[in-house]
Chains A and B, each alone.
Chain A
Amino acid sequence: MEESELGRKRKLEKVTVKFAGDSGDGIQLIGSQFTVSTAIYGNDFAIFPEFPAEIRAPAGTTYGVSAFQIQFGAIDIMTPGDEPDALVAFNPAALKVNLNLIKPGALVILNIDEFDEINFKKAEWNSIIKGEENLDEILSKYEVIKVQMNKLVIDALKDVNLPHKEKLRSRNFFALGLVCWIFMRPLEPILKFIKENFGKKPEIAKANELALKAGYNYGETLEIKHKFVKIEIPKYKFEPGKYRYVSGNEAFALGILAIKEKAKIPVVFASYPITPASDILHYLESYRNFGIIALQMEDEISAVNTAIGASFAGALGITATSGPGLSLKSEGINLAVMTELPLIVIDNQRSGPSTGMPTKTEQTDLLFALFGRHGESPLIVIAPISAGDCFYSIIEAAKLSIKYMTPVIILSELYIAMGSEPWKIPDINKIPDIEVKFWKDGSKFYPYSRDENTLARPWAKPGTPGLEHRIGGLEKSHIYGRVSYDPQNHDFMVKLRAEKIRRVQTDIPDVEVYGEEDAELLVLGWGSTFGHIRAVVERAREKGWPVAHAHLKYINPLPKNLPDILKKFKRVLIPELNLGQLLLLIRGKFLVDAVGFNKVTGTPFKESELMMAVEKELMNMEKEGKLSKPIHIQEGRFEEKEKGGAVKHATA
């Protein structure tokens, strides 16, 4: 952190802000508007919304808290941040659940009008109710701004013709205005949003606009009265181009539209509502004018089978779900493996087993995606590494699924399904076409003949004269595709299906190593943890530690060069949000003495804990004499001080 020469404005390289309140407080709305303003201001950012599992949990309760976290900065931001530097809490419950999560010295903005006995009771804040401690003591470690938001909003809206209760609903915009002032965000994009979205209700639009401006102006009074200063986050040097922000779910939906355009075949998306995948269905249903066929089916099983039926008929069948739904789809996926039809199954992983914690994130379906079906059932597994990557991953999945006539599972995760990041908008014209070859020639047609390179069988769609044929779940004879119980044929077909998936290796990129030259410890991740691991490895390397990062997006088949990469390092550390699933695979497949760093808290990694894991492993290596140069790490030395820093210091 450095002080600006211009005066009292403080400069920070990056900052993490969290808004928290009741699910009815409009937290997600102001979060997304703060994000838009941040984007237009020119910072890089990553966001993560948190929803309560209950739809309308009783107001003021801890389990009804909805939150929105954003990290933004002048540097490349890869995660939504560990501990917030600033928290806006709309009620005691929102403060209570976040108190342990924020940084010491953080800026805490409270709507103090809601901090009354009733709300402390609703939040079950017993120590305060019993008088064992008071709010000021609890918050002594923080920089606190108590704002009478209810009163200030009512004052600001005195000329607005709305009932009192309705006026109070604009509190979120007041808070947003204040936070925009603190971090010097422009109000124009938010005012534009208000005009566009509340235009039909002019009084509400007016209320929100006035509240926003009142919050912003309140910042000015803070500056004068309390010498509080604005905080400047210099702009990030984005690559020139068009940007938007996108969540993983929206990126999947847009990717599916791109598939339809590039493959020039019908796309049938059949799905059943499940958290956190339903948004893909919502988006696609709203894109009817793109000619996309999106269907809400009666259950998960129907969804996958409808998709398979569509693929049989010459469309591309796609379905999306989360863990419990993937369990139900196993049998259907196997039918696609056996009939060798294209199919894409999106699995937005969430905390399990069983219903688990549906609004929490995890990477626990890896082995299930690979092996969770009866029989030898190979298929392609792709794990997108960021929200924006979901767009490219599903296009890639379509290409491979059609080329190799095989189902593909896309292992995404709640964290990137719901989280967002700035996304450089692709030029759709530059995305190559997806090649589709339907078999036409009736004189040379055998349903289980093979392309000699890919080993794919022909795609012969109903309606084509002369290609009438029958497929199904029973084992079929090689080439002719007749029902076969022949032992040698089965052995041959099992191996052939496995070999077909192995050959996909020729179509996937090699795994790249970040910082390979001198490194001795490889941190190997997969899927959604990319941002966290890369941020940590970057910092470790800045310290001069011999660490490298490789990240797997293709889980099956694994990239061709992976065994060679693994051999180059003295140790492989595999951080995962599970109990070591990739670890088991890597150890089992390559006889590599990899070690895991695992947690299953339902939350993404924190950069700090990953950093400590890297540090610990380097110390182990040093003790074992496995490092070529000593690195002098002191135990417990690591602290989150180098960049960012708490906002507290920003007050004069």
Chain B
Amino acid sequence: MQQLEEKNISQVVINYTPKDFDSGEEPRWCPGCGDYAILNAVRSAFAELSKELGIPKEKFVIVSGIGCSSRFPYYMNTYGMHGIHGRAPAIATGVKVANPDLSVWVVTGDGDGLAIGGNHLIHAMRRNIDIKILLFDNRIYGLTKGQYSPTSVMGQITKSSPYGVIERPVDPVMLALSQGTTFIARAIDRDIKRLTEIIIEAGKHKGTAFIQIYQNCVVFNDKAFDDFAGKEVRSERVIELKHGKPLLFGKNLDKGIIIENGRPKVVKIGENGITEDKITVYDETDFYLNFVIATMHYPDFPEPIGIIRRVKVPTFEELLYNQIEHAKKLKGEGNLQKLIDKNSWEILPS
């Protein structure tokens, strides 16, 4: 307790280290859980964002729902609300509209964000409210001990699907694209350097930022992403998207993606007359290209990682506050007595 109290004393200089974002609460995740890596990445990213954007610690707010991932706010020394199942985007929307000066983050999971809270996620995305949504996707329900989730794959054996999952999974990135989300990225928990970079970019974005983070559940769905995310295979099976750069991958960057008849195709440089200048250059603002790339998944294609889409669009709260200012100009600052007196009549003393 003593330690907690001391930590809460205000720090004036904005020169935080990741440790400054440690609340002192000991995380209760299973040993080896991917959430630890994400926690470290977020602490590092926040320290960096503070410096770059001048955001003091007290202006960070983290809102979560329910599930393993949603314990996250307790471990961050910021303002935080551990909400109810699926509703974090709604709570975060309230925080942001009430005080647009805050940097508002949502931590959710594949069950919390895509099943019970799917509706709020969709509407936050289409509004482009300036909140950053980190979706920890482990393709399983962890806290309820191992049922299949909306991103579980066909045939996946879980406690609630002993004969295999017979539902097709949600593709969170495609969902985000369909809602016009202005920042969409995908990251892998164990690639902590890249993950940190992406979180920083999300933090700098004005508008809804959505990051799908492949996160390993060591207990109920271990190695779910190892086929492409494993360190030894990653360079061959993952493609790093870089705005303005050709879509190259492979240990020696000797493979690439070209778009042929509107579809992605894996090619090898040097084969069939393919040279590097034939490789499609990635443009994070080109919706059609974003869409085509988002259709790619391992094993048919390398799994795309990085910033899939980033565009500048006015945010919801900007439009809202502009409308308020506009209404004030149009009608004059509201006068309650005048409004109430409208259509009134007077009874004079007789």
Contact = CB atoms under 8 A, between A and B. Distances in A.
A637 interface: no
A339 interface: yes
Contacts of A426: 340
B102 A463 contact: yes
B123 interface: yes
A309 B133 CA distance: 16
A302 B123 contact: yes
B90 A306 contact: yes
Contacts of B73: 470, 472
A312 interface: yes
A435 B343 CA distance: 31
User: Which residue, of A303, A470, A483, has the highest number of chain B Cβ atoms within 10 A?
Assistant: A470
Contacts of B93: 295, 297, 302, 306, 309
A254 B339 contact: yes
B277 interface: no
A466 B8 CA distance: 5
Given A301-B87, A309-B81, A442 B8 contact: yes
B81 A312 contact: yes
Interface string A33-53: 000100110100000000000
B4 A335 contact: no
Interface stretch (B137-145, B302-310, B322-330): B322-330
B94 A307 contact: yes
A462 B120 contact: no
B23 interface: yes
A238 to B, nearest CB: 4
Interface in B324-350: 324, 326-328, 330-334, 336-337, 339-350
Contact of B74 (A36, A428, A462, A470): A470
Interface stretch (A82-90, A285-293, A613-621): A285-293
Interface string B102-131: 100000000000000001101100000000
Contacts of A473: 66, 82-84
A428 B337 contact: yes
Contacts of B8: 442, 445, 466-469
A29 to B, nearest CB: 14
Interface string A13-48: 000000000000000000000001001101000000
Contact of B340 (A254, A266, A443, A464): A254
A482 B98 CA distance: 26
B347 A288 contact: no
A334 B33 CA distance: 31
B296 interface: no
B274 interface: no
B99 A314 contact: yes
Contacts of A301: 87, 90, 120
Contacts of B269: none
A335 B97 contact: no
Contacts of B74: 470, 472, 483
Interface string A194-222: 00000000000000000000000000000
B204 interface: no
B92 interface: yes
B99 A463 contact: yes
A317 interface: yes
B53 interface: no
A425 interface: yes
Contact of B95 (A239, A297, A442, A462): A462
Contacts of A240: 347-350
Contact of B119 (A244, A289, A302): A302
A332 B87 contact: yes
B97 A425 contact: no
B261 interface: no
A317 B90 CA distance: 12
Contacts of A429: 337
B320 interface: yes
B324 A266 contact: no
Contacts of B59: 462-463
Contacts of A298: 119-120, 122-123
A463 B96 CA distance: 12
B79 A288 contact: no
A286 B84 CA distance: 32
Given A257-B339, A313-B98, A469-B79, A462 B61 contact: yes
Interface residues of A, number: 75
Contact of A244 (B61, B82, B333, B344): B344
Nearest to A241: B347
A256 B83 CA distance: 26
Given A306-B90, A483-B74, A290 B95 contact: no
A438 interface: no
B52 interface: no
Contacts of A307: 94
A462 B58 contact: yes
B165 interface: no
A472 B78 contact: no
Nearest to B62: A470
A40 to B, nearest CB: 5
B58 A244 contact: no
A244 B340 contact: yes
A472 B81 contact: yes
A38 B73 CA distance: 60
A298 B89 CA distance: 11
A266 B82 CA distance: 23
A315 B341 contact: no
Contacts of A428: 336-337, 340
A487 B296 CA distance: 51
A187 interface: no
Nearest to A41: B345
B87 A290 contact: no
Contacts of A244: 340-345
Nearest to B99: A313
A288 B81 contact: no
A256 to B, nearest CB: 10
B345 A243 contact: yes
Contacts of B343: 36, 244-245
A425 B336 contact: no
A541 interface: no
Given A298-B119, A465-B56, A483-B74, A312 B90 contact: no
B98 A290 contact: no
A301 B119 CA distance: 10
A470 B82 contact: yes
A241 B336 CA distance: 18
A469 B25 contact: no
Interface in A136-175: none
A293 B98 contact: yes
A307 B56 CA distance: 25
B58 A467 contact: yes
A466 B5 CA distance: 10
B91 interface: yes
A313 B80 contact: no
A480 interface: yes
A254 B77 CA distance: 40
Interface in A402-450: 425-429, 442-443, 445
Interface of A: 36, 39-40, 42, 237-245, 254, 257-258, 261, 266, 268, 270, 287-291, 293, 295, 297-299, 301-303, 305-315, 317, 331-332, 334-335, 339, 425-429, 442-443, 445, 461-474, 480, 482-483
26 contacts: A40-B345, A237-B350, A238-B347, A240-B349, A242-B347, A266-B98, A287-B334, A291-B328, A299-B119, A302-B87, A305-B83, A305-B84, A305-B91, A309-B94, A310-B94, A310-B97, A313-B102, A334-B84, A425-B340, A442-B8, A443-B9, A465-B57, A467-B79, A469-B8, A470-B73, A472-B82
Closest CB pairs A-B (n = 9): A309-B94, A472-B82, A290-B334, A466-B10, A288-B327, A465-B10, A305-B90, A315-B98, A309-B91
Given A39-B345, A241-B346, A268-B97, 11 more contacts: A243-B346, A244-B342, A257-B339, A289-B331, A290-B333, A293-B320, A305-B90, A306-B97, A470-B76, A471-B81, A473-B66
